[in-house]
Structure 1
Amino acid sequence: MDGTGEGEESGWSASILLYSAIAFIVLFFVRRFFKGGQFSERVSAKGLVAVVTGANCGIGFETVRELNLRKADVYMLCRSSERANDAKRQLVRMGCDATRLHFIECDLTDFESVRRAAKELLESTNTIDILINNAGIMFQNNHVLTKDGHEKTWQSNHLGPFLLTELLLPAIKNSSYARIVNVSSRLNLNSGKINLATVDDKKSFGMMSSYNQSKLANVMHARGLTAQLRKDDASHVTINSLHPGVVNTELMRDSVFALPGIKHITAPLRWFFLKTSRDGAQTSIHLALSKKLGGISGKYFADCKLTKENTLALDDSACQDLYNYSRETTGLAR
């Protein structure tokens, strides 16, 4: 009987080990699926000058880290000097070179702040190789107008980055590398046609609909500027947009998931089912550095691969209208 009991116990132990191993393997591959595409090319960014907005946290922080570790000189555009300096200290502890990390204050909801940041940048360098329009806001519950008179989500996510891009174009055109990256969202697929005449109106505002249309504008901006660059004989400059994935970042700070109790309870699930900031930065890095993308412009990517955008973004006339409107609205057409 003792021998039989020991055999049964040994069998149970083996079964538990087997099922545990199978469960671990399944969870490993499921987690890898949610991590999404990873940029794996061995590419150096030595000698390149990069500009990243929203660089002190989340995807922007990880984008700066990767570019710096690959030897790029990185300008971090952030609203808060305190948070930017905290981020710089953390980046240095992670192995980054502090001499290649530079902070410039920039608030995309304030056109004057964007102009000051662009002026400071152009005084610091006459060549910009990479511009990553990463910063953005989400989950704005109320209709708020900026000091410039525009709906806050619209200005932060589209008009501000648009103005910055236009102001930096002279330095970007000076680069033979010349890549612009717009961080959009898959939610651009949920946007209807953008009504430029009412985009700032309270009646047109919706927490998600306003965000979705701002992300569609990011995709349309890439296509519209591509057409303009080709007209200007500057087709060496490329601009593409991307969906970073569903990422557990500070964009969640204005959502229900930021409430203390819910944040604590959902932490394991968010870690498992959502991308980390480092995972979310992979497609930005891909568009900034991949050797496979030379000359590709006006396209939309996700998980380091070309993918389909909202069909509204394929309307070249609408993209041109958005480009003209944006230049006029930001004071560039005067």
Structure 2
Amino acid sequence: MGWFNAMCTSVARLDGKTAVITGCNTGIGKVTVQDFFERGARVIMACRNREKATQAAEEIKQATASKSNLGEIIVEELDLMSLKSVRSCAEKILAREKRIDLLINNAGVMTCPYGKTEDGFEIQFGTNHLGHFLLTLLLLPRICQSTPARIVNVSSVAHERGTINFDDLNWSQTPYSAIKAYGQSKLANVLFTKELHRKLREKNIKDVNVYSLHPGVIKTELARHVADTYGKGVKLLMSAMRWFFKTPLQGAQTTIYCAVDEKCASESGLYYAECAVKEPSQAAQNEADAKRLWSESLKLVGLPENYEPF
């Protein structure tokens, strides 16, 4: 049980609203699905494993069976390691959903051994940033039609140790470091948030707000690669420190806060932790890097330089 556990106290309802949440069959994503479902939202669980997501949806429905005014849960397949899958998922959502009020880019991988996505990207950069970058841009026109809307990007305090290596984003020449690659991907989440906010306001779109956040150190499946990367000794150390870790319920609170709380309804482009605005690293405030990352990301996901999702 974590020591620092701010809670979202908003009782705002989400009746009539549609939320898309990635990577949410376990951990803080699953908690977020249940929270939105209880608030009356139509929740789309966009997950890599349809069977596990369907099982999670049933577990949520069973856990809330005694409650009233619930929403709806729909499972959609999404593999962020495949741009083809991202495009397919976005196409299905756009064909079916008349509105998208909330997009929660929650899915992620952490400190995994070196590998590449289906499209040849380093796994952490490809999954944590590029997959969500493409999904967001493909859904953005519908989001902009559903105002007021919010986009929440789950980053990490690990962004503070990250740098964007524009000369080798996919670690093709650089000796691979799992933790540095993770830091780069999480820094990319914050820079993407900053640049998306800037572009929205540049286009005079004032009712789509964007947030990035650190959820806390949480005991979830996200750390499943730690032993593979650093050995059993580090895994044992993490086990010994488990009392300092948050539960998924505690870890989901800042995500929920950014998505529903009235207190941040007029904020955008900022970084949060413990349900409050925090100052990100200096690297995360570099406007030139944010612009360049946007441009480079467009190329990597196969979108034209003048792509206009607004």
Q: TM-score, normalised by structure 2?
A: 0.91
For residues 201 and 81 of structure 2, the distance between their equivalents in structure 1, rounded to whole angstroms, comes to 29
Structure 1 segments (4+ residues) deviating >6 Å: 96-99, 257-266
1:245 maps onto 2:209 in alignment = no
8 Å CA contact 2:39–2:71 kept in 1: the answer is: no
Q: How does 1:65-214 map to 2 (within 5 A)?
A: 65-95=34-64, 100-141=72-113, 143-192=114-163, 194-204=164-174, 205-214=176-185
Q: The residue matched to 1:246 in structure 2 has which SS?
A: coil
8 Å CA contact 1:92–1:98 kept in 2: the answer is: no
Q: The residue matched to 2:173 in structure 1 has which SS?
A: helix
Q: The residue matched to 1:156 in structure 2 has which SS?
A: helix
Q: The residue matched to 1:67 in structure 2 has which SS?
A: helix
For residues 260 and 70 of structure 1, the distance between their equivalents in structure 2, rounded to whole angstroms, comes to 41
Q: How many residues align?
A: 300
CA distances 1:152-180 after superposition (whole Å, capped 9, x unpaired) = 11100000000000000011001122100
Could you say which structure has the larger radius of gyration?
1
Q: 1:254: Cα distance to partner?
A: 1.4
CA distances 1:207-239 after superposition (whole Å, capped 9, x unpaired) = 100000100000000001111111222121111
Unpaired stretches in structure 1, ≥5 consecutive residues? 1-30
Q: Which amino acid aligns with 1:222?
A: T
8 Å CA contact 1:88–1:98 kept in 2: the answer is: no
For residues 103 and 238 of structure 2, the distance between their equivalents in structure 1, rounded to whole angstroms, comes to 34
Q: Which amino acid aligns with 1:41?
A: S
Q: 1:308: Cα distance to partner?
A: 1.2
- Higher RCO by CA contacts (8 Å cutoff, separation 6 or greater): 2
Q: Which amino acid aligns with 2:169?
A: V
Structure 2 equivalent of residue 27 of structure 1: none
Q: How does 1:198-237 map to 2 (within 5 A)?
A: 198-204=168-174, 205-237=176-208
Please tell me the root mean square deviation across aligned C-alpha atoms, in Å. 2.3
For residues 292 and 70 of structure 1, the distance between their equivalents in structure 2, rounded to whole angstroms, comes to 17
Which 10-residue stretch deviates more, 114-123 or 256-265?
A: 256-265
For residues 54 and 20 of structure 2, the distance between their equivalents in structure 1, rounded to whole angstroms, comes to 16
8 Å CA contact 1:226–1:235 kept in 2: the answer is: no
Unpaired stretches in structure 2, ≥5 consecutive residues? 306-310
For residues 290 and 109 of structure 1, the distance between their equivalents in structure 2, rounded to whole angstroms, comes to 31
For residues 262 and 330 of structure 1, the distance between their equivalents in structure 2, rounded to whole angstroms, comes to 35
Distance 1:265 1:86, change over 3 A: farther
Quick check: which one's helix share is greater?
A: 1
CA distances 1:20-73 after superposition (whole Å, capped 9, x unpaired) = xxxxxxxxxxx5x61511101221111111000001000100000101011111
Identity, % of aligned positions: 37
For residues 18 and 78 of structure 2, the distance between their equivalents in structure 1, rounded to whole angstroms, comes to 18
Q: 1:202: Cα distance to partner?
A: 3.3
Q: TM-score, normalised by structure 1?
A: 0.85
Structure 2 equivalent of residue 52 of structure 1: 21
Q: 1:325: Cα distance to partner?
A: 1.1
Aligned residue among 280, 283, 308 for 2:254: 283
Q: The residue matched to 1:234 in structure 2 has which SS?
A: coil
Q: The residue matched to 1:179 in structure 2 has which SS?
A: strand
8 Å CA contact 2:39–2:70 kept in 1: the answer is: no
